């Protein structure tokens, strides 16, 4: 058994490097697929977390007219706090809204700064005891003269869910297509490896090598493509970690969580088995079709 594993690993390793260009192509496409997979995973986890957070925090946003005076605003806040349906009210001033926006969208911060006046309205973020009371509260808010418009976060969340769902579907389809391409490339890479070793395989058969000795080195070679692809992907993500975490923090500004710590481990747990799994599957298909002749 030790002789078998040693032999298979050694031959897989030799085969991988001897088959240089094709191994490189297979590993590169494997890496591409795994990076896409990680990207989609990170994005979706972030969006999911954002969604949960937003959902738990705010339910109704009332945008206030710029003409509203501070007294009017204070009076309305007091009225709202007195309403039994309302669990909490927080005031976001125009200045605060602009700051939040600039923090969330740093790339347009300069553009916003160039504006003559702050275009963002002040608002009340309101939490309800029971989301079913939304209509009553919304109607009450719309009756207030200083309230410009009322936004139902539930509706926004519903739209977000639809977008995330679409993103997930598109992502999965793209990944499937890329995954199949990678599988195809590996099947071909291993096929070339088999052809390159055709004489060795013939001799192995003639001297009485068992099927396992003939097949497993190639399966291991496919697994190596997956392993290298996964390690490169993890390495790339690790290198990009800081920048990525920064980008994520900006993107999901409302989140109090550390995005990279959250997904880093999970990405490794997804990328390694996926890479090795596709590598093994591709080489298995190739070996099976080639050697069963």
Partner 1 sequence: MSSADTEPAPADGDDQVAEEPPRARRSGPARRRGSFTLTVEGAPTLALRGVTMTYPNGKSALRDVSLTVAPGDFVFLVGPSGAGKSTLIKLLIREALATRGRVILEGRDLARLNRGEVPQIRRRIGIVFQDFKLLTEKTVRENVAFALEVTGTPRRQIDPAVDRVLRVVGLSGQADQKPAELSGGEQQRTAIARALVHDPHIIIADEPTGNLDPLISWEIIQLLLRINDMGVTVLMATHNAEVVTALRKRVVGLENGRVVRDEMGAAYHRED
Least separation, in Å, of the C-beta of 206 and partner 1? 5
Distance from chain centroid for Cα 179: 16
Q: Pick between residue 133 and residue 200 the one whose CB is nearest to partner 1.
A: 200
Q: Is 95 a residue that touches partner 1 (CB under 8 A)?
A: no
Number of Cβ within 10 Å of residue 57's Cβ equals 13
- Which of 95, 136, 202, 242 binds partner 1 (CB under 8 A)? It is 202
Least separation, in Å, of the C-beta of 220 and partner 1? 15
Part in contact with partner 1 (CB under 8 A); list of ranges 2-10, 27-35, 39-47, 239-247: 2-10
Q: Is 196 a residue that touches partner 1 (CB under 8 A)?
A: no
Least separation, in Å, of the C-beta of 216 and partner 1? 11
Q: Pick between residue 8 and residue 233 the one whose CB is nearest to partner 1.
A: 8
Q: Is 3 a residue that touches partner 1 (CB under 8 A)?
A: yes
Task: Return the residue matching tokens 């909490």.
Answer: 88
Question: For partner 1, what does the binding mask look like between residues 203 and 222, x meaning CB under 8 A?
Answer: xxxxxxxxx-xx--------
Q: Is 292 a residue that touches partner 1 (CB under 8 A)?
A: no
Q: Cβ(68)–Cβ(270) under 8 Å? A: no
Q: Pick between residue 208 and residue 256 the one whose CB is nearest to partner 1.
A: 208
Least separation, in Å, of the C-beta of 205 and partner 1? 7
Nearest CA-CA partner of 125 in 52, 68, 64:
64
Q: Pick between residue 2 and residue 70 the one whose CB is nearest to partner 1.
A: 2
Part in contact with partner 1 (CB under 8 A); list of ranges 138-146, 163-171, 179-187, 196-204: 196-204
Q: Cβ(125)–Cβ(89) under 8 Å? A: yes
Query: How many residues line the site for partner 1 (CB under 8 A)?
Result: 18
Q: Pick between residue 81 and residue 210 the one whose CB is nearest to partner 1.
A: 210
Q: Cβ(252)–Cβ(259) under 8 Å? A: yes
Least separation, in Å, of the C-beta of 11 and partner 1? 9
Least separation, in Å, of the C-beta of 192 and partner 1? 17
Distance from chain centroid for Cα 121: 32
Give how far Cα 257 sits from Cα of 147, 153, 249, Å: 33, 21, 9
DSSP-derived pairing of the beta strands 147-152 and 60-64:
antiparallel
- Which of 66, 100, 125, 200 binds partner 1 (CB under 8 A)? It is 200
* Distance (Å, whole) CA 207 – CA 102: 73
232-236: long-range contacts at Cβ-Cβ below 8 A with a sequence spacing of 24 or more? 232/27, 232/31, 233/31, 233/34, 233/35, 233/38, 233/271, 233/275, 234/267, 234/268, 234/271, 234/272, 236/31, 236/35
Q: Is 4 a residue that touches partner 1 (CB under 8 A)?
A: yes
DSSP-derived pairing of the beta strands 147-152 and 86-92:
unpaired
* Distance (Å, whole) CA 58 – CA 47: 16
Q: Pick between residue 252 and residue 284 the one whose CB is nearest to partner 1.
A: 284
Q: Pick between residue 247 and residue 291 the one whose CB is nearest to partner 1.
A: 291
Contact residues: partner 1, CB under 8 A: 2-4, 7, 199-200, 202-211, 213-214
């Amino acid at each position: 058994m030790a002789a078998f594993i040693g032999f298979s690993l050694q031959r897989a390793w030799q085969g991988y490097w001897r088959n240089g260009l094709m191994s490189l192509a297979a590993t590169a496409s494997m890496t591409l697929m795994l990076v896409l997979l990680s990207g989609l995973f990170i994005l979706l986890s972030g969006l999911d977390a954002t969604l949960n957070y937003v959902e738990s925090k705010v339910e109704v946003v009332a945008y206030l007219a710029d003409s509203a005076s501070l007294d009017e605003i204070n009076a309305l806040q007091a009225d709202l706090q007195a309403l039994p349906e309302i669990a909490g009210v927080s005031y976001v001033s125009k200045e605060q809204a602009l700051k939040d926006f600039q923090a969330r969208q740093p790339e347009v911060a300069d553009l916003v700064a160039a504006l003559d006046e702050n275009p963002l309205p002040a608002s009340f973020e309101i939490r309800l005891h029971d989301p079913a009371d939304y209509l009553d509260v919304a109607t009450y808010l719309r009756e207030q003269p200083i309230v410009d418009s009322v936004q139902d976060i539930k509706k926004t969340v519903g739209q977000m869910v639809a977008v995330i769902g679409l993103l997930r579907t598109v992502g999965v389809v793209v990944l499937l297509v890329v995954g199949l391409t990678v599988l195809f490339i590996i099947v071909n890479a291993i096929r070339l490896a088999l052809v390159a070793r055709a004489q060795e395989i013939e001799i192995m058969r003639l001297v009485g090598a068992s099927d396992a000795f003939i097949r497993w080195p190639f399966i291991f070679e496919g697994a190596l493509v997956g392993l290298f692809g996964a390690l490169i992907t993890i390495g790339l993500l690790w290198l990009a970690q800081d920048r990525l975490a920064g980008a994520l923090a900006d993107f999901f500004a409302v989140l109090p969580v550390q995005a990279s710590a959250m997904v880093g481990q999970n990405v490794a747990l997804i990328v390694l088995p996926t890479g090795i799994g596709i590598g093994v599957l591709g080489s298995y298909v190739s070996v099976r079709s080639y050697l069963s002749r």
